[in-house]
Chains A and B, each alone.
Chain A
Amino acid sequence: MGMTIHLKIWRQNGNETPGQFMDFTAKDVSPDMSFLEMLDVVNESLVRAGQDPVEFDHDCREGICGACSMVINGAAHGPDKATTTCQLHMRRFKDGDKIVIEPFRAKAFPIIKDLVVDRSAFDRIQQVGGFISANTGAAPDANSTPVPKVDADLAFSAATCIGCGACVAACKNASASLFVAAKISHLGLLPQGQAERGQRAIQMVAQMDVEGFGACTNTGACSAACPKEISLETIARMNRDFAKASFDRR
């Protein structure tokens, strides 16, 4: 006999319609189930009863695609540190627990349905500068520019961002600073990324504002909620690049 879990799940049809919490009970939950497998079982029972299943984004279920996006008991991606919702397992909970599930809430992430939100603002930020301009076929030999291991490792750590948006959901201002800073750091730490470094910071930060994300007050909730533990240092790097580029431009 497995656990019984009481769920309070946010349901909403589109951004313009008011939403509400609804109660569900998940029965016979195995501790080895993932959190999303527990929701699968709930959804299958809803379908059998002729009701609408709860919509949520998910895909790889390996913690790397960044699709899953839920606030579980008030925490983006739930209670485990450095863990996406899909990698959270039910052994973390006990029989009779109540779990509250909400979408990632932010003005820049309009609700599509239930727990599914629109994160296309993130793509638009990347499109204005999150790249190194190198055409296919024009590259020199890969070993022609050595990159110190320390820099390469730091760049890699910033590049592990999965674009899930937990940083925005966790921030009291719904700022996207950690997300933007991660890309600015990744590319700015590498020799290949120097030519566009200043312009990149200016353009990505400007787009972040256009999309309606809030301002950063260096509280650090973003980094604490980040499933890839992107460091707050990246934000310092973004601010420096932005300030330097702003002066250089004058």
Chain B
Amino acid sequence: MAEASTKLDAKCPTGPIDSRWERHKFDMKLVNPANKRKHTILVVGSGLAGASAAASLGELGYKVKVFCIQDSPRRAHSIAAQGGINAAKNYANDGDSVYRLFYDTVKGGDFRSRESNVYRLADVSTAIIDHCVALGVPFAREYGGLLDNRSFGGAQVSRTFYARGQTGQQLLLGAYSAMNRQVGRGQVDVLARREMLDVVLVDGLARGITVRNLITGEIESHAGDAVLLCTGGYGNAYFLSTNAMNCNVTAAWRCHRRGAYFANPCFTQIHPTCIPRSGDYQSKLTLMSESLRNDGRVWVPKNKGDKRRPQEIPESERDYYLERIYPSFGNLVPRDVASRQAKFRVDEERGVGGTGEAVYLDFSDAIKRLGAPAIAEKYGNLFQMYDKITGENPYESPMRIYPAVHYTMGGLWVDYNLMSTIPGLHVLGEANFSDHGANRLGASALMQGLADGYFVIPYTLGHYIASQPMGKVDTQHDAFKASREEATLRLNKLLSVKGTRTVDDFHRQLGNLMWNHVGMSRHRAGLESAIKSIQQLRSEFWQDVRVSGDPGFKNSELEKAGRVADFLELGELMALDALTREESCGGHFREEHQTPENEAKRDDAHFCHVAAWDIQDSGGSINWTAHKEKLNFEYVKPTQRSYK
């Protein structure tokens, strides 16, 4: 299938891994301080990656414009991350190091990430904590006033920094405040309630974007010297996910359609501890931080179809299946393993709750051991959230949990400098594919978003600006004009269908297809049928969707319609990628490729690569070609992951 491509030069430095980034920083070109203000950088998205990049670039003297779809940049979905952020500080004196964090991340990603990138991530992790504390992020502390750490899914050391159950909120507000300071200094302009609909290429370089003003409906152009895409993941392709309602793939997808390769789209993370769905009206799912697995024990009844209340099921009739199967990691196995095991229990008809699609997460032992106040101190806000949503008190009866789509490891392909296959278009945070391989470890998403924004892009962007000759462009250029016209045409087309089905109706149907066939467990026949069904659904969408309202005013139906139209293309590519990756690795589980103990079976001989997809559209008929970037492991030798 995949051909080696000359376009996919990852530009990774060579030599000893612990000095690659240091040397690369020295080798990169610099932009003179007086020249930085002559360059305008367009940052799309204001989550951890976008806000931290905007702040750092503003500090350096670049002119920065930040765009976000929310009414305020502070509301980006990074805000909802609960658990924590990893850093190799070794404050716990338990044997952590940069090398161990690197090792755990490569292994956790099931050997489908780049060693150079992962090492850099682990390397800058400590500086992130220092900087966040300097900005006033109120991390949890011990009585002596020093920072507290906890261990998190998949790790045997305590390297996770946290702020009760709302670490993402505090880190994002820190980055938002640093960005606000640059707004005050006149370095950064924030344009809220703008949705990116296109990237504009001039002479092959990313030189601007086309956005829709979500209040006035106006189609605007913005020109600059580079575009940073920090627009998050594409989990909402599944309709139900833990993503915020407005998370979408449109900005990334529009770039893909202009030539940015999309890498490993089938690598999605299904998070094991979410509140199960309760009915068809369900609009989204809510995550319960996996830090809960530090003290909660996962179980199901030993007997099929046991409908007794959990308290009535005696200890001898409970199956603490994670502790049974994985005695050394127990309830702390990585996310993909925990999710898949929950699915197996439900498939065996040992699921619990009204729908039978749930397992128990039980705190009664921890409450006996530590007391309810200690549990409340650690997880109070999570218990309260669970109570609000389900009407049940987790201090008294075990939580019901079930996996849900949570994070997407795939994304736009980038090189070591975070640049996509479109020169000038850089991709940061969850929107890129780079650091997590086939499975992301807990507390690593926040680390990557901030690493990219605070500590990587300030260097690599300067190198691009200093080495790429480019003239001035303005928004009167033909390329901008053509892009505005295309975007307008597409919106009018969506409004003119005037069919019978709502946008959500199509989205729900796509989500069902994705969850059933491109979800926790995949097989050839299912993927092939999903591809056909998605193509069919896409053509129905353009013939029968009903979008009401005015293009020239606030119109959330029109916003959703454009996003679902793109999900209907991405969904097909996700299935295609899953179909062609004839192995199991991390979150990608192909039923044809498993060990006798139902563990993922990698095929390093044939699939130790990144699949980066290029799209061709000939008159509405879409085709993709895969290009491969070979992955080399010089330090962490690929082995079968074992958490037993």
Contact = CB atoms under 8 A, between A and B. Distances in A.
Interface in B128-167: 129-136, 138-147, 163-164, 166
Contacts, number: 218
B127 A139 contact: yes
Contacts of B181: 127, 131, 133
B134 A122 contact: no
B56 interface: yes
A229 to B, nearest CB: 11
Contact of B548 (A50, A59, A65): A50
A20 interface: no
B553 A67 contact: no
A187 interface: yes
Interface in B170-192: 170, 173, 176-178, 180-181, 183-184, 190, 192
Interface string A63-87: 1111100000000000010110001
Contacts of A25: none
Contact of B141 (A30, A135, A152): A152
Contacts of A50: 546, 548
Contact of A147 (B80, B141, B284, B557): B141
B145 A148 contact: yes
Contacts of B136: 131-132, 155, 186-187, 190, 192-193
Interface string B543-579: 0001111000110110000000000000000000000
Given A131-B180, A139-B130, A159-B170, A61 B388 contact: no
Contact of A52 (B127, B283, B549): B549
Interface stretch (B65-73, B94-102, B472-480): B65-73
- With most chain B CB atoms within 10 A of its CB, the pick from A52, A120, A145, A159 is A159
A235 B177 CA distance: 20
Interface stretch (B109-117, B274-282, B299-307, B313-321): B274-282
A37 B146 contact: no
Interface string B527-552: 00000000000000000001111000
Contact of B286 (A62, A118, A126): A62
Contacts of A159: 138, 170, 173
Contacts of A60: 75, 77, 79-80, 244-245
A24 B151 CA distance: 50
Given A59-B244, A64-B80, A160 B166 contact: yes
B283 A36 contact: yes
Interface string A11-36: 00100000000000000001011101
A67 B184 CA distance: 23
A144 B283 CA distance: 45
Nearest to A45: B502
Nearest to A140: B130
B386 to A, nearest CB: 11
A65 B133 contact: no
Contact of A34 (B166, B283, B454): B283
* Interface size range of chain A in the complex: 35 or more
B74 interface: yes
B89 interface: yes
Contact of A142 (B133, B138, B143, B215): B133
Nearest to B282: A37
Contact of A118 (B71, B144, B502): B71
A57 B71 contact: yes
A123 B169 contact: no
B147 A142 contact: yes
Nearest to B453: A136
A65 B56 contact: no
A53 B127 contact: no
Contacts of B503: 47
Contact of A156 (B142, B163, B504, B548): B163
- With most chain A CB atoms within 10 A of its CB, the pick from B89, B131, B142 is B131
Contacts of A122: 72
A55 B556 contact: yes
B385 interface: yes
Contacts of A128: 184
A149 B141 contact: yes
B33 interface: no
A182 to B, nearest CB: 11
A89 B391 contact: yes
B233 interface: no
B329 interface: no
A136 B55 contact: yes
Contact of A63 (B71, B131, B215, B385): B385
A231 to B, nearest CB: 15
B543 to A, nearest CB: 17
A220 to B, nearest CB: 22
A156 B139 CA distance: 8
B553 A119 contact: no
Nearest to A55: B554
- With most chain A CB atoms within 10 A of its CB, the pick from B89, B180, B279, B503 is B180
A126 B134 contact: no
A224 to B, nearest CB: 18
Contact of A48 (B73, B147, B546): B546
A168 to B, nearest CB: 14
B554 A190 contact: no
Nearest to A135: B59
Contacts of B89: 142-143
A58 interface: yes
B504 A120 contact: no
A37 B164 CA distance: 28
A1 interface: no
A53 B246 CA distance: 17
A212 B554 CA distance: 25
A131 B178 contact: yes
A120 B192 contact: yes
B91 interface: yes
Nearest to B55: A136
Interface in A186-221: 186-187, 190, 192-193
A134 B313 CA distance: 55
Contact of B180 (A41, A123, A148, A187): A123
A133 B548 CA distance: 46
Contacts of A46: 548
A168 B131 CA distance: 32
Nearest to A156: B138
A189 B546 CA distance: 53
Nearest to B161: A142
Contacts of A64: 79-80, 166, 169
A82 B284 CA distance: 21
A67 B279 contact: no
A40 interface: yes
B177 A156 contact: no
A127 B244 contact: no
Given A59-B245, A118-B71, A146-B145, A87 B170 contact: no
The list of the 3 closest CB pairs from A to B, nearest first, reads A146-B145, A139-B134, A131-B177
11 contacts: A53-B548, A89-B388, A113-B553, A113-B554, A122-B72, A131-B135, A136-B131, A147-B145, A152-B145, A156-B140, A193-B136
